Amino acid sequence: MSRIGTRLATMGLDLPPPLSPPRDMVLPFPWVNIRGDRAFVSGHSAQTMDGKLAGPFGQLGGAVTVDQGYEAARLTGLAILGNLARELGDLDRITGWGRVFGMVNSAPGFTDQPAVINGFSDLVLEVFGPEIGRHARSAVGMAALPAGFCVEIEAEVLIRV
């Protein structure tokens, strides 16, 4: 078993299947786009283990709490790992995380975006460790997100070809 696969098993983590988007959401792009030694990761949101969009929906600073946002960011990370695993075959091919762009659906005046996106960063660091998992990051407040996601994250990772 691969190193990262073993690590996920040790942590008791399962990765969700590909998203079955709502019927009216047409998404003409891959979740992970590999070009050479780069994997561009499309904007993901939290998923349930049966491939649906996971709630809660709405805004931080509104109906969604920081704890719920943190958990949504963590679930977003698991959805990204699921798509990376399917696209790469083996998560051990990831040689380093590059950039993480964390988007938080934010009501006016909400300023705690970093605490929300930490749900994602903490997961990546737990799974990949400090060297491969190290990533540049922004965590910022969006006016709105598709379907009312509370969190959306895009990223780039470097891979072994």
Minimum Å gap between C-beta 101 and a second copy is 8
- Residue 121 CA: distances (Å) to CA of 9, 97, 128, 141: 19, 11, 10, 17
Per CB under 8 A, the list member of 5, 13, 17, 40 interacting with a second copy is 40
Q: What is the nearest approach in angstroms of a second copy to the Cβ of residue 1?
A: 26
Which range touches a second copy (CB under 8 A), out of 6-14, 47-55, 70-78, 148-156?
A: 148-156
Q: Which of 73, 141, 151, 159 binds a second copy (CB under 8 A)?
A: 141
Size of the site for a second copy (CB under 8 A): 58
Q: Minimum distance between the CB of residue 109 and a second copy, rounded to whole angstroms?
A: 7
Q: CA 57 from chain center: how many Å?
A: 16
DSSP per position, 50-89:
TSSBPS-BS-BTTTB-HHHHHHHHHHHHHHHHHHHHHHHS
> Which of 27/49 has CB closer to a second copy?
27
Helix (H) or strand (E) holding 105: strand 94-105
- Say whether residue 29 binds a second copy (CB under 8 A): yes
SS3 118: helix
